[in-house]
Structures are given as C-alpha cells and as structure tokens.
C-alpha cells in the first residue's frame, strides 16, 4: 500500500473562485476543520498578496499544530522572505514556489527564456531551502510544457533542495491517460526522481480534475492537491473529498491509503459552502444533498432489502447521518409502506393499496411527497383514520 498525502488549497486556490472572499476569522475556522479532517498540508494563502493574506497565513501557522502550513510565493526573493516572516512561528512551515514552464507562458506572460526560468528556479529554491525545512516547487502550466524541458526544470528544483515537486494541470487541459504517462515519463527522465515527492494539481475546465488526479496517483504521484467541494479558479480544482473517497472505496484498485478522517467530510463541505457562499450542487458526488437519496421504486426496494445493491458508499463513512428514500412518482410500494410505518400508520393490505393509489396521484403532481403530505393523505382518506 502506498501512502498519499493530501495538500488542501481551499484557502488559496479555492479562494480564487470568482466572487469568494474569506476574512481571516473565516479562514481560521476552515483551517481548524481541515486539521480535524486530517489534511497533511494546507496552503493557507499567498503571504505577499496582501496584508490580510499575510496576517491570515501567520495566524493559521500559529494555531495549526497537526498539519503543515504552507504559503504560496512567486520565484522572487521578496515573496520568499515575506512568506518566511509569516510562517516562522509555525510548527511545520512550508514554502510553495511556482514559476511557469510552458512556452506560451514564457513568451506572453513572463517574457523570459528557458535558461532564465531555470536560473530563477535555482536561485529561488536555494534561498527557500535556506529558510524553510520543506519546500515545494510547482511548474505552472506543466501539462502544456515540453516534456524534456519540464523534466529539466524539476531536476533543477530537486537538486537545489525541493522536497516536493508539483506538475499542475493549471488550465485543466490534460486527460487521464496523458497525465498518467507524464508522471511515468518524469520517473524515467528526472535523474533525482527518488529524492522528491511528486505531486498532482488539477483544474476542472474539462470536468476531468478528479479523474486526472486519480490517474496521476496511478502514475506515481504521492501527493494530491485540490480543494473542498472542488471550488477554485474558473471551473475549480479537483474535489479532495471525491479523491479521498474514491481511494477508500477502490482501495483494491489504487492500493493507496490516506490519513484522512473521512467522517469529517460532510461537516467540512458544509462549512466551506456556508463561508464561501458557493452552493454545493444537489447531485454533487459525496457531499451533494442527493448523493445518498434514492427515488425510484426499484432502487428503494433494493436498498431496503440490502443497502449495497445501490450504495457503494455508506453515508456514515463520510459523516452523513443516513440515506434518504425520497417519495416521488417513481417510488414503489415497499418504500411507501416503510415510510408509513415510520410515521405511525400500520395499515391493512386493503388500506395500504388505497392509500398507495392516492399517493401515486399526488406524486404525479408533486416532485417530492413529504411527511406532511402523507399525514394529509391519510386524513383525506376518512375511512383510513
Ligand atoms: O494551478 C496552478 O498552476 C497553481 C499553481 C500556483 C500551483 O495553482
Ligand atoms: Zn491551481
């Protein structure tokens, strides 16, 4: 079994979601919950981005005891020193340096040559390593970078002291097969490969962030990065709760374990949603309101007989109280009878058949038949009272 470290960037990449702005108290609240969730590293912010971010990184670094706290920094001396000032009181501080490596970014954004980028990696990683016990280097836009140059950049970073090297799919461009091959390529073409932990960081522009992250793990990534509920820049980041549960449920396939306390997932998701104002879609995997709801009669009958017929994840595993059998027009007699018993009606077969017919008529008009509707239905059927 390999061990996968989770790096949560809800407070940095997640906060880059359009329209999201967390104040320092809210960030601290989320950081404490991430600690309860068992996250290995949390990226608390970008210390040099603003005074607020600096103070927030500093406060989280001071309070969090059981996770490594990291700040983002450009490959610039001023950013690195500022992050150092923010995190010098932390139990396990980390610096995250990034610089783009793709030709598109070099030409249009950085206006730097490849040689200049390599020199910048060398200088910044060396400086960072003289100040921090652990340094992560990210090659921004790695998936659109020529493989040989990416290998060279990562090798330089490792040789200068990077403990973790990250291959971000910054613009959500790659696909699972391609990303897996990229990790395997690095295994063969980065001479110091064994000296660092390789990390994956996926964005969801094509809806592939979680699938790509899982592919990277198959390709050798030992750290996975993402956010709670998948929030983040544009279409967001990989949803960490989905990756964690996929690794657990398909442990047979991935042969990987994590330190995450999965029963904290629901609470973490709810907190992040409430404080960021980013509503979790009802059908979102793991944490959506419908993730454990069954509506069709065939499914409800199966679940009532044996939950594993239609549930691959037990709701309690992720901190959800129980599954929900929603009464609607697709529901069958079995779920209807069970719900009637639950709310106190022991009906004869004849009474039940009549009530069930009335229920079906109502369900044709209403999306969901609630407990109140069922009481009203029984009261309406005067002979059943
Ligand atoms: O998506 C990205 O490339 C990033 C880097 C800063 C790692 O968020
Ligand atoms: Zn990102």
pLDDT tens readout for residues 263-274: 999 999 999 999
Decide if pLDDT at 160 tops 90.
yes
pLDDT of residue 379: 87
Q: How many residues make up the chain in this entry?
A: 385
Decide if pLDDT at 385 tops 90.
no
Residue minimizing CA distance to atom 8 of ligand 1: 13
Q: Which ligand is nearest to the CA of 143?
A: 1
- Ligand 1 atom closest to residue 237's alpha carbon, by position in its atom list: 1
Please tell me the distance between residue 193's alpha carbon and the centre of ligand 2 in angstroms. 23
Residue minimizing CA distance to atom 6 of ligand 1: 98
Pocket test of ligand 1: the residue of 71, 143, 164, 201 to mutate, having most ligand atoms within 8 Å of its CB, is: 201
Decide if pLDDT at 224 tops 80.
yes
- Residue pair 169/179 in contact (Cβ under 8 Å)? The answer is yes
**Residues with Cβ within 6 A of ligand 1?**
13, 72, 98, 138, 140, 166, 168, 170, 201, 203
d(CA 96, CA 163): 10
pLDDT of residue 380: 84
Please tell me the distance between residue 140's alpha carbon and the centre of ligand 1 in angstroms. 6
d(CA 51, CA 289): 37
Question: Residues at the annotated binding site for Mn(2+)?
Answer: 13, 201, 203, 237
Average pLDDT over residues 204-216: 98
Q: Which ligand is nearest to the CA of 233?
A: 2
Residue minimizing CA distance to atom 7 of ligand 1: 138
Average pLDDT over residues 84-95: 97
pLDDT of residue 384: 52
d(CA 25, CA 97): 26
- Under the banding of pLDDT at 50, 70 and 90, the label for residue 260 is very high
d(CA 271, CA 354): 44
pLDDT of 176-191, one tens digit each? 999 999 999 999 999 9
Mean predicted lDDT score pLDDT of the chain: 96
Average pLDDT over residues 152-171: 98
Please tell me the distance between residue 211's alpha carbon and the centre of ligand 1 in angstroms. 18
Q: Quick one: which of 162, 212, 221, 229 has its CA closest to 192?
A: 162
Please tell me the distance between residue 168's alpha carbon and the centre of ligand 2 in angstroms. 7
- pLDDT > 90: percent of the chain: 98
- Ligand 1 atom closest to residue 203's alpha carbon, by position in its atom list: 1
Please tell me the distance between residue 170's alpha carbon and the centre of ligand 1 in angstroms. 6
Average pLDDT over residues 31-47: 98
Prediction pTM value: 0.96
- Ligand 1 atom closest to residue 98's alpha carbon, by position in its atom list: 6
Please tell me the distance between residue 256's alpha carbon and the centre of ligand 1 in angstroms. 24
Alpha-carbon separation of residue 195 from 121, 160, 189, 331 (angstroms): 17, 11, 13, 57
For residue 171, count other CB atoms closer than 10 A to its CB.
Answer: 17
Q: What does residue 140 show for φ and ψ, rounded to 5 degrees?
A: -60, 140
Average pLDDT over residues 227-237: 97
């Amino acid at each position: 079994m390999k061990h996968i470290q989770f790096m949560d960037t809800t407070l940095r990449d997640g906060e880059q979601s359009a329209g999201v702005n967390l104040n320092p108290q809210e960030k601290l609240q989320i950081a404490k919950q991430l600690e309860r969730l068992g996250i290995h590293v949390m990226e608390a912010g970008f210390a040099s981005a603003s005074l607020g971010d600096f103070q927030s990184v500093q406060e989280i670094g001071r309070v969090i005891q059981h996770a490594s706290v990291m700040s983002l920094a450009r490959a610039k001396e001023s950013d690195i020193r500022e992050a150092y000032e923010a995190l010098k009181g932390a139990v396990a501080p980390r610096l995250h340096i990034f610089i783009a490596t793709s030709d598109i970014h070099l030409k249009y954004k950085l206006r730097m040559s490849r040689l200049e980028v390599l020199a910048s990696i060398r200088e910044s990683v060396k400086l960072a390593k003289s100040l921090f016990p652990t340094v992560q280097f990210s090659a921004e836009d790695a998936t659109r970078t020529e493989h040989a140059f990416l290998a060279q950049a990562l090798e330089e970073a490792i040789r200068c002291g990077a403990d973790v090297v990250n291959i971000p799919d910054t613009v959500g461009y790659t696909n699972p097969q391609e990303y897996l091959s990229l990790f395997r390529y690095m295994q063969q073409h980065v001479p110091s490969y064994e000296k660092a932990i390789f990390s994956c960081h996926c964005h969801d522009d094509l809806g592939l962030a979680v699938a790509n992250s899982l592919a990277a793990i198959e390709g050798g990534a030992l750290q996975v990065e993402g956010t709670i509920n998948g929030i983040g820049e544009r279409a967001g980041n990989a949803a960490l709760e989905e990756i964690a549960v996929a690794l657990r449920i398909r442990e047979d396939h991935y042969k990987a374990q994590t330190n995450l306390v999965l029963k904290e997932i629901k609470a973490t998701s709810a907190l992040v949603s409430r404080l960021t104002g980013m509503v979790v879609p009802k059908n979102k995997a793991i944490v959506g309101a419908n993730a454990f709801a069954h509506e069709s009669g065939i499914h409800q009958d199966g679940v009532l007989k044996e939950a594993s017929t239609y549930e691959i994840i037990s709701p309690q595993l992720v901190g959800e109280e129980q599954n929900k059998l929603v009464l609607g027009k697709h529901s069958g007699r079995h779920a209807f009878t069970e719900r009637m018993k639950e709310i106190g009606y022991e009906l004869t077969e004849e009474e039940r058949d009549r009530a069930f017919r009335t229920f079906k008529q109502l369900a044709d008009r209403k999306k969901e038949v609630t407990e109140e509707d069922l009481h009203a239905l029984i009261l309406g059927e005067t002979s059943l009272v």
